[in-house]
Amino acid sequence: MRNISLIAALITIIFLALTGCQSESSESLDGGELNKSTNEKQDKEDINVISDNDEDSQEEDEEEESDSSQDEEDQTSSNEDSDNNEHTTEDQSNDDQSNNNESNDEQANNDQSNNESQNENNQGDDSDVTVVSNPSAIDVVVNKRRKLPDGYTPPNLTEPNVRFSFDEQNMKRNMRPVAANALEELFAGANKAGVDLFAVSGYRSYDRQVAVFNSHVESKGREEAEKVSAIPGHSEHQTGLAMDVTSQAVGFYLTTDFESTTEGQWVAENAHKYGFIIRYPKGKSEITGYSFEPWHLRYIGKDLATKIHESGLTVEEYLGLVE
């Protein structure tokens, strides 16, 4: 009996054990299914999120492509505008260049016409003008009716060793050697007598004379200019045999006041001893064609200078060149 009770108890225990395992298995199964369901739901949500992200990404890509396309269109339009601007600028530049060239050509033609007109005015009436045949002769005479050959330049110009009224280097310091040597002797003689002279203007080229003469014309008018300045080609300064002198007493100017100074009086009385004459003496304008210039010394050689000085005549009168 006791054994039967033990067997019954053992069966009961086994039954209970089997029933417990089945319940745990069912619970495990239910948990797995729940987890599976939850995972599947999460996966679906993830898929939806991914899908939404893909759609957003696609929309962004489409927007970027649209923006890129618009940028390309804008860039193309900008390039076209730039090209148009370049063409417009280039066309305008070409037009401006063409206008400038035409304006420059017109100005050049006008300048040439003015120069030709000015040259014609400078020449004056050449119908009774003689071109000297001996421009390098010491006693050559140039005046309003006698001119130097075109393009004449005296030979071997040199600077005399005398004081000048200016310091800078200039062609007007020069003279022909024979005249330069004589001027040095004249200045030395004046210095020995206590007279201080200063040289102002010697050689003057044809082109320089053009500028000087035109300046006088502009300030005084043609008629008055011809009384104080030579027409280009007719100037004694171009021979290299003339020199203008002055003194501190007249502020180093070339003025008729020089006549009344100690220096001016010494020059008038002694220049001929050194081969110079006062080329345009007082009261002789109708013969020489120029106003009185007590400062204008012309080298002509000691013998001829002495004869002309003692005669009281002008060069034209003494040499029989008066009409």
Token match 């000085």: residue? 309
CA separation, residue 285 to residues 63, 75, 197, 282 (Å): 102, 85, 25, 7
Q: Which of 141, 136, 140, 142 minimizes the C-alpha distance to 157? A: 136
CA separation, residue 170 to residues 91, 165, 203, 243 (Å): 50, 12, 10, 14
> Which residues partner with 299 through β-bridges?
276
Q: How is residue 246 written in tokens?
A: 């002055």
Task: Work out whether the CA dihedral 120, 122, 127, 133 comes out positive or negative.
Answer: negative
CA separation, residue 25 to residues 29, 31, 33, 224 (Å): 6, 10, 12, 143
Token match 């030579």: residue? 230
From the list 269, 293, 310, 323, the catalytic residue is 293
Dihedral (Cα; 73, 74, 75, 80), 10-degree rounding = 90
- 33 as an active site residue: the answer is no
- The answer to whether the CB of 213 falls within 8 A of the CB of 224 is no
User: What burial class does residue 144 get, using C-beta atoms within 10 Å of its C-beta: 0-12 exposed, 13-18 middle, 19+ buried?
Assistant: middle
Q: How is residue 214 written in tokens?
A: 């035109």
Which positions are annotated as active-site residues? 293
